[in-house]
Structure 1
């Protein structure tokens, strides 16, 4: 898992597993069609919460197809939680025993009374994602991620998790890996504490997401495993130190530019399954791959689902693209906090 010298972890690899999709769970319960009809989605609300309308408190986006999840532990003695490692958000939160929402009833819940290292605060926290939201309060406790132990980590304990999306999710909570500038209530992210406590040898982490039904996916804190990619890492400077946001030069197919003409802004987001972008650009891509819209609003080609989704996230520099798991599966991805850049190389 990792190496320790004088009590400090040099690198640490946390295995991730590809979970059963929420789409599958809804289908098995006969709820998918009704869910798609009644939950109008706006993926943009994850990045700009004001985009979530009052009538769509739990917007749906197709990240319900696939999630890559791993296990962490909180408290003393440790309480186990399955979390989504999300480079598109910055807060760590898990369900708590104070939560009575249906989504908390079938997931692990943190009990502060069972932890001798727990420290409460009076601060509240609220986080909105493209697929759901949580409200609760902040506290401090010991968090174990792989063989790394972070002391006095601030995290959220949910009191409400409205809607049904999180009820069907294969994870208990979320561990955000973006910058502290976008952390709700100013809570210090887990990786920032790993860096400040000297628990990683390099101020970066890397991600490998396996394709198809293969295992072996991981997030590695403090290191890069060059055996998982071919060629050299291509380093792309961040255009904003909020999300892992970069400038994309163009999107081409067979040498022809079909979207992002003249450049566009994009976020590398492990917490989103698909590759999402503005309607015109996505429509061009769907046309060129021969995909068509289904009656349920999903884009299909035969029995396959397209990996592209239309969204509108306006920014000062144009509409934002989201490079989710369908993109990240193609590239070993390095998230470098020391130099504020993303490194990408084709997977081996």
Structure 2
């Protein structure tokens, strides 16, 4: 059994005990209508009989809507088993395993979440394998099994997944999602479990070996993952492609980081991962202290809400492209209290002084995770 230290949830959601359940067994149109997304989605995706990526009408639909919980977590619904058992999951590009709570779980974190019952699925296949995953803010241990996993209308046969038996501590108890569906590479998968998207590719269930992500702002609806396609409505500003530096996380090389016109970090290049499972933008301690100093912000990261417009841009220079975050993007306003959406990684891990480009960064772009070409694409949204 491999011990995997994943950074994907270092700053994930201030979890909330009240979950917003999404039900399966309905058509995608019904799901969108139920959650107030249909009208907006149809405007962005008018019917085009020639388009194989029309997520509402095409038989090969791979559109997965996600709930936006206060800009801190984004999660959608999948089903496991026959008949289907429903679970809300984080679609996490910072990890590679799929796991959900199970009826075997004895932790309090499982008591208020949906739990998978193998005895109620005619397609479940048990194993003698165990799994343990440690995230930045929680961990799980349990057993591995195989079953049919349905994401949107894609049915993945014989998908290996974790059934949690323990979820220590209180973190997952307060989360408004049940489990996690990892979308990173097989090389970092705990216990060597094949990730869901790898099986989608292996079973020829997606038109292209890529998926794309849109994360809405300010608690708005409309967030989604599109498996196997790129939505051209979100790429009108063009796509900047960045090659991967490692096939582990969605890892890329950054050239430098500037605040305003000042070169403040990443002096001899540095590594970053693009992580939908991390709420904030996480940086090494030295860079974090320099950013706070250049922005004139105290060690607690709090800023005056009235002074936001006077702050400089923070720009990430990556593969010859400049990806700029304005103050309105990197400052969080929570009921009149404003703070930076940056976090100090603290002591370097076994991965070194790595940056995590979390939701603070991703919300500014439509992001394409291209497994076929081992690259990430960014298209500015605004």
Task: Give the TM-score of the pair, scaled to structure 1.
Answer: 0.81
Post-superposition offset of 1:347: 1.2
Which contiguous aligned blocks of 4+ residues in structure 1 show a shift greater than 3 angstroms? 1-4, 8-11, 312-318
1:84 pairs, out of 75, 83, 90, with 90
**Where do residues 143-182 of structure 1 align in structure 2 (5 Å cutoff)?**
143-182=149-188
**Residue 18, structure 1, aligned to residue 68, structure 2:** yes
Give the drift of 1:232.
1.5
Q: Distance in 1 between matches of 2:298 and 2:100?
A: 38
Q: Gaps (5+ residues) in structure 1?
A: 21-64
1:260 CA displacement? 1.3
Q: Distance in 1 between matches of 2:375 and 2:139?
A: 29
Query: Equivalents in 2 of 1:316, 1:171: separation in Å?
Result: 29
SS of structure 2 residue aligned to 1:293: coil
Residue 10 of structure 2 is matched in structure 1 by: none
Partner Cα separation in structure 2 for residue 74 and residue 245 of structure 1: 30
SS in 1 for 2:353: strand
Aligned residue number for residue 129 of structure 1: 135
User: Aligned ranges for residues 29-178 of structure 1 at < 5 Å?
Assistant: 66-178=72-184
Match of 2:361 among 316, 319, 327: 327
Greater shift in the superposed pair: 311-320 or 328-337: 311-320
CA 1:263–1:10: 2 relative to 1, 3 Å: farther
Specify the alignment match of 2:42 in structure 1: none
Corresponding residue for residue 339 of structure 1: 373
Partner of 1:207: 213
Contact 2:285–2:347, Cα closer than 8 Å, also in 1: no
Structure 2 contact 53–229 (Cα < 8 Å) conserved? no
Instruction: Check if 1:256 corresponds to 2:280.
Output: no
Q: CA deviation at 1:257?
A: 1.2
Q: Deviations over 1:144-200 (max 9, x none)?
A: 100111011000000000000000011100000000010000000000000000000
CA pair 263-230 structure 1, distance change in 2 beyond 3 A: farther
Distance in 1 separating the partners of 2:195 and 2:98 = 7
Contact 2:69 2:219 in 1 (8 A): no
**C-alpha distance in structure 2 between counterparts of 1:317 and 1:15, whole Å:** 32
Structure 1 position 316, deviation (Å): 8.7
CA distance in 2, matches of 1:320, 1:154: 30
Root-mean-square deviation (Å): 1.9
8 Å CA contact 2:251, 2:273 repeated in 1: yes
Aligned to 1:311: 345
Alignment match of 2:302 (pick from 277, 300, 316): 300
Structure 2 Cα separation of the partners of residues 227 and 145 of structure 1: 23
Q: What 5-or-longer segments of structure 2 have no aligned partner? A: 1-27, 29-51, 305-336
- Structure 1 residues 216 and 126: CA distance shift in structure 2, 3 A: same
Provide the rounded CA distance (Å) in 2 between the counterparts of 1:164 and 1:189: 26
Q: C-alpha separation between the residues in 1 aligned to 2:278 and 2:221?
A: 19
